[in-house]
Structure 1
């Protein structure tokens, strides 16, 4: 199996939500490479009100229509699995338990408008050694969740008409170098 490569990171999404990075700033950082990776991932497209995910055998690309150019790309062998609502609820609880135990940083998007309304989002992340939270965890199944754990990324999105699509992706090496992933 080839080693996975990553572009972006949950940190880009957190920066966009917490610091209000403009689309121009995000485009400058990652736009051209993100476009290339999106094309490379190819394959199937799934979208809901808060996220678009493109995936194929060669990778996964996630973008957020409400935050232009805040994106995550993972190149490597990728296989998602569809979950029933009950399986998705179990997945959500496992992710919440891991987050509560400090085993990763989490972004959960429940509804559109999440950038301006803490009722529509839950985030738990560590920045410079301090743990932060925004919003509140809920039992409601989200439109999208992303757990960035030390050894893997867990992604789940609601794919209208098809259920919940989930991915378990091993951590990859950053495409741009540095400690991005």
Structure 2
């Protein structure tokens, strides 16, 4: 596990999909603002998500639902990919999600979760594997793959692709929700 702090409420949000209960994420607002401030440097956005990365950290949030965010404190560097490289990454992510039960989120359209063709999410709660939406090999606007070792994030803006591959950080939420 890395020495960089990460703030990742996605497991809480995924659990809320199953329970139907809206999670109380108010106690994350100060941490989210701090992380957003630290990650200033190289901003970007597309139809559904905005991001920033720099020497102080990495941050993204969904425009329609800012509580769905991820933050990592510490230096990060993204890699620009060609469409072919991005396609290979998506294929590899789909295979890893199936074989390793890694957590995978793909958003293909700005409609987010209005129809099954807009998204694909695969995750595990307890011993149960849950899949929602429709897995496609189309290039997504946003992709996130997380396993016990690392996090991959892919952003698409027009025909440009930006990929981050980050080693697992020290989770801050265990402290905040203890």
Q: TM-score under structure 1 normalisation?
A: 0.88
C-alpha contact 2:101 2:129 (8 A) present in aligned 1:
no
How far 1:75 sits from its partner (Å)? 1.1
Q: Deviations over 1:132-166 (max 9, x none)?
A: 000111111000000011100000000236x1000
C-alpha contact 2:101 2:123 (8 A) present in aligned 1:
no
In structure 2, the residue matched to 1:7 is 7
Q: Structure 1: which 5+ residue stretches go unaligned?
A: none
Q: Structure 2: which 5+ residue stretches go unaligned?
A: none
Q: Deviations over 1:28-78 (max 9, x none)?
A: 131121011000111111111111111112211010012132111011221
SS at match of 1:98: helix
Give distance in 2, aligned partners of 1:97 and 1:147.
11
How far 1:103 sits from its partner (Å)? 4.3
Matched residue pairs, number?
175
SS at match of 2:174: coil
Give distance in 2, aligned partners of 1:135 and 1:4.
32
Q: Does 1:175 align with 2:176?
A: no
Name the stretch that deviates more: 10-19 or 98-107.
10-19
In structure 1, the residue matched to 2:54 is 56
How far 1:17 sits from its partner (Å)? 5.3
C-alpha contact 1:49 1:112 (8 A) present in aligned 2:
yes
Task: List aligned pairs for 1:73-92, cutoff 5 A.
Answer: 73-92=71-90
Q: TM-score under structure 2 normalisation?
A: 0.89
Change (3 A) 1:149 1:85: same
Q: Deviations over 1:103-135 (max 9, x none)?
A: 410010111222332220100000011000001
SS at match of 1:101: helix
C-alpha contact 1:15 1:21 (8 A) present in aligned 2:
no
